[in-house]
Amino acid sequence: MPKSSSLFILGLGNPGPKYIHTRHNVGYWVVDLLLQDYKTKFRRQIFSPYQSVRLSSSSHHLSVLRSKTFMNTTGSIIPSLARHNTVDPSQFVVVVDNMDLPPGQCRLRKGGSHAGHNGLKSLMAAFGEQDFLRLYIGVGRPERGVSVVDHVLGVPNASDTQKIQMTCRKAADALCSLAEEPFDRVAESLNRRGA
C-alpha cells in the first residue's frame, strides 16, 4: 500500500445536475462525503479536466479527485494529472458503481477486469494496466425490460437510495482507514461488513 501522501481517491461519475442522483454517480457521492467530513470543497480549476483537493488530518493525507469529463472518457484526465503528479496506478483507489452487487453492498478489490464498465475501461486504457484499487458500490441489476444504460443513468427508488447512501458512508470511512492501515485489513473489514 502506498504511503498516505501519495494515495489518490478518484470518484467516477458524470458531471452536471442531470446526473447527480443517478446510480452511475455513486463515485461522486462517496467523494462528496469525504469533502463534507473535512468541511472543504474542490478548488476552482477552470481549465482542468478534473477537480482535486488535498485532505489532511493529524494522521493522514489524501488527494481526492473527481473527473469533469463524462464517464466513458474518464481516462482522458490522466495525461493532465500526470503533468502535476507522479502517476502510479497502484496509488489510485477508483470509486465506481457495480451492478453485480445489490444496493447496500460494497467491495474493495485490487486489480481486475473492467467487466464492461466504460469508466474503468477508459482508465485502464489510459494507465496501460489494470493494477489499481477499486472500491465498488453496489447499485443492483436492471429490472426486466430496463436497459443497462437506463438503469445506471436512472435514479434509484427511495429504499435503494437509502441503502446506497449507507454503503457510501461505509466506503468513505474505509478510504480514510486505507490511508493509515494495510490494504488487506481494510478490505477484509469492509468486505465483511458490506456483505
- What whole-number distance in Å separates Cα of residue 34 and Cα of residue 41? 10
Backbone Cα Rg of the chain? 15
Q: Residue 71: which CATH number?
A: 3.40.50.1470
* Confidence band of 193 (pLDDT split at 50, 70, 90): low
Strands 8-11, 92-98: pairing is: parallel
Q: What is the side-by-side strand order in the sheet with 133-138?
A: 50-56, 61-67, 8-11, 92-98, 133-138, 106-110
pLDDT of 61: 74
- What whole-number distance in Å separates Cα of residue 193 and Cα of residue 195? 5
Q: pLDDT tens digits, residue range 159-190?
A: 999 999 999 999 999 998 888 888 999 999 99
Q: pLDDT tens digits, residue range 121-161?
A: 999 999 887 789 999 999 999 999 999 999 999 999 999 99
pLDDT of 187: 93
* Confidence band of 3 (pLDDT split at 50, 70, 90): very low
Q: What type of residue sits at position 40?
A: T
- What whole-number distance in Å separates Cα of residue 42 and Cα of residue 104? 27
Range(s) of the domain holding residue 186: 4-193
- Active-site annotation holder among 24, 60, 117, 151: 24
pLDDT of 138: 97
Q: How many domains does the chain have?
A: 1
**Which range, of 26-30, 93-97, 108-112, 118-122, averages the lowest pLDDT?**
108-112
Examine the pLDDT at 194 and tell me if it is beyond 90: no
- What whole-number distance in Å separates Cα of residue 24 and Cα of residue 22? 5
pLDDT of 28: 97
Please measure the distance between the N-terminal and C-terminal CA atoms of the chain and give it in whole angstroms.
23
What pTM, to 2 d.p., does this model score?
0.90
Q: Is 24 a catalytic residue?
A: yes
* Confidence band of 56 (pLDDT split at 50, 70, 90): confident
Cβ pair 16, 28 in contact under 8 A: no
